[in-house]
Structure 1
Amino acid sequence: MKRFIKFKVAVLTMLLLSLSYAFGQHAPKTAESILTKFKHPSNDHILVVAHRGDWRNAPENSIKAVEYAIAMGVDIVEIDVQKTKDSELVIIHDKTIDRTTTGKGKVSELLLDSIRKVKLRNGAGMPTRYHMATLKEMMLAVKGKPVLVNLDKAWDYIPETYRILKETNTVNQAIFKGNRSFKELRSAIGKLADSIIYMPMVWPVNYNIYKAAETEGPVTFTKEYIKEFKPIAFEVIYNAEDSPVLEAIKLMQEKKVTVWVNTLWPELCAGHDDENAMDDADAHWGWVIAHGANVMQTDRPAELIRYLEKKGLR
């Protein structure tokens, strides 16, 4: 009888644990669960984005930097996409390989085979054993891992990038972004816009990167996208605390659309950047959160995660 009771208790315990993992806060983190939070912004949880991966401990934009960032517990990694002379998509920020590798030259004028021969440099500029990854290699490396990927600079290669995502079965792990108005986006890629996660970028005065001319202001730009496209998120850039972008953020909150803020440099977040946050996190990261951020891209992911955990926002 005692054995039977112990068995029933054990079964009941296992059932309760399973339910807590399935429905409670202890559910295992997955790319799908991160995407759910990305789609449904909350004041109780801030998603953390590692800018170019964990570039303090591995070369920026490298697979190793991304792996370190995932191990650290970030939700999203930002990487940069460029195209080689032979139309291969590779992961590098600059238009040249001079700063981040042991080689020289423009990415667009180099063949992939040539790029393969150079090595990536670390944050101090020293050569490492790592090589530049292709977009396909990067997406295969993150496939199935608990992370999303923000594809910066892929706006000129959306169809080609999408083909790689389809091939690697990682479409739902990737976030595109860009400055185009909705009409320009639809004209450029048509119905493909409906098959990807696309995040418009909202500036104090939106600049069309294709025509280098001023377009509509941030509130008008935001309203158009919400009406015509209903994006999951907007990336916002504001260089002052009285920026009109703050009014656009209020509209995003009203419509329950995720607000993505970059705290990398002062001009991106009205001076409330990562380095200032190292001296007073509440005055800077706290200010950004109080003014609508649901997602924060940072060069200090470990410190930001600790701060958010302390505030009960993770």
Structure 2
Amino acid sequence: MNTRFLQELEEKKILVAAHRGTYGGNVIENTYLSSIVALASGADIVEIDAVRSTDGVLYAFHDGEEERRFGITTNLRNLSSKEIENLEYLNIIGEKSGEHIWKLYDLLKALKGKGLINLDRAWDYLNEVFKIIKELQMEDQIIIKTHPTEEAFKYFKNNETKLMYMPIARKKEDIFKFIHPEINMVAVEILFTDKGDEIIEDEFLKSLAEKNIKIWANAITLGGYEKHNLSAFQDDNDSLLNNGVGWSWLIDKKIDIIQTDWPYLLKMHINKK
């Protein structure tokens, strides 16, 4: 199940993850087109979000962003599948794009065999998500991410299907609790606000590497405020302005997977280093 992921790392050393695909203009995030553009731009992994309608249909969308994407204030969790499918995405200039939201099943099926996928914000729908992945036989392609909750621990420990898993961690304890023989933890997404945080210490990262646990860090820049500080501001903005300095810091830390909104430029930077 982990073979493809590990082979990609063995070959490329550092993997590039595209945040919701690569989008702009009339290309909308969390769609097939944004995913294909990301892969064509050098991404090895495409991050996709999930949300469920009131009647139980899963869609590829980051809920909470309905006003920006559709011009509505209602959360998609509170809409029926019929209401959701009548929505039309707004593009980068606020015009209707002609693009509609993708059902999660259809998007994953369209991406079968095309790069690795990180499924985000699916923690409330794990039963449905596991069913889709098994039906599509994409166990070797999809990494599921959740917060480090007790519910997630029990679910991944007790589920017969040992899908690739990645917890989101701010503290060492968030990782330790998932190091278990019945949990297929292939990676951990670390969040840190300061370069001196314990979770980014060299010796700790080395100890994870010795356990073959890969490290995912976020270079994405969602704003200049502390709540958006995911990697001690070693981020895309810093890197784009200063010859890749933020990316270089993450690379020197031996981060295995870097998430970005600029996969082509990050891939070029990695190749140069």
- Note whether the superposition's TM-score is higher than 0.5: yes
Tell me which residue corresponds to 1:283: 245
Alpha carbons 2:220, 2:259 under 8 Å: kept: yes
Q: Quick check: 1:159–1:189 contact (8 Å CA) kept in 2?
A: no
Which of 112, 119, 125 is residue 88 of structure 2 equivalent to? 119
Give the equivalent residue in structure 2 for 1:221: 174
The residue type paired with residue 289 of structure 1 is I
Q: Counterparts of 1:123 and 1:169 in 2: how far apart (Å)?
A: 35
Deviation at 1:126, TM superposition (A): 2.8
Cα distance in 2, alignment partners of residues 85 and 272 from structure 1: 39
Q: Say if 1:189 and 1:223 are closer, same or farther in 2 by CA, change over 3 A.
A: closer
Q: Distance in 1 between matches of 2:159 and 2:5?
A: 19
In structure 2, the residue corresponding to 1:52 is in which secondary structure? coil
Structure 1 residue 168, shift from structure 2 partner: 1.9
Q: How far did 1:47 drift? A: 0.4
**Deviation for aligned residue 1:123:** 3.3
Deviates more, 1:158-167 or 1:234-243: 158-167
Kept in 1, the 8 Å contact 2:218–2:258? The answer is: yes
Give the structure 2 partner of residue 244 of structure 1. 198
Q: Deviations over 1:155-199 (max 9, x none)?
A: 111111111112222222111111224x53243455227521110
- The corresponding residue for 2:141 is 173
Residue aligning to 1:87: 56
Alignment correspondent of 2:74: 105
Deviation at 1:291?
A: 1.2
Matched letter for residue 207 of structure 2: L
Compare 269-278 and 257-266 and name the one that shifted more. Answer: 257-266
What are the Cα deviations for residues 252-299 of structure 1, in whole angstroms up to 9, with x where unaligned? Answer: 123232110110136111111001101224421100111121100001
Secondary structure at the aligned position of 1:66 is classed as helix
Question: Quick one: distance in 2 between partners of 1:303 and 1:193?
Answer: 40
Q: Which amino acid aligns with 1:231?
A: M
**Paired residue secondary structure (2:66):** coil
Moved over 3 A (4+): 31-34, 227-230
Deviates more, 1:250-259 or 1:270-279: 250-259
Could you tell me which residue of structure 2 aligns to residue 184 of structure 1?
151
- Say if 1:246 and 1:186 are closer, same or farther in 2 by CA, change over 3 A: closer
Structure 2 equivalent of residue 11 of structure 1: none
Who wins on radius of gyration, i.e. which is larger? 1
Return the offset for 1:96.
5.5
Q: Which residue of 1 aligns with 2:230?
A: 268
> What is the alpha-carbon distance in structure 2 between the residues aligned to residue 249 and residue 124 of structure 1?
42
Counterpart in the other structure of 2:225:
none
Q: Superposition RMSD on alpha carbons, in Å?
A: 2.4
Q: Which residue of 2 aligns with 1:258?
A: 214
* Cα distance, 1:310–1:260 mapped onto 2, change above 3 Å: same
Residues 32 and 127 of structure 1: CA distance in aligned 2, closer, same or farther (over 3 Å): farther
Matched, 1:298 2:260: yes
Is the 8 Å Cα contact of residues 3 and 140 (structure 2) preserved in structure 1?
A: no
- Residue 102 of structure 1 deviates from its aligned partner by 4.7
Could you tell me which amino acid in structure 1 is paired with residue 124 of structure 2? D
User: Counterparts of 2:139 and 2:215 in 1: how far apart (Å)?
Assistant: 21
In 2, Cα distance between the equivalents of 1:104 and 1:137?
A: 26
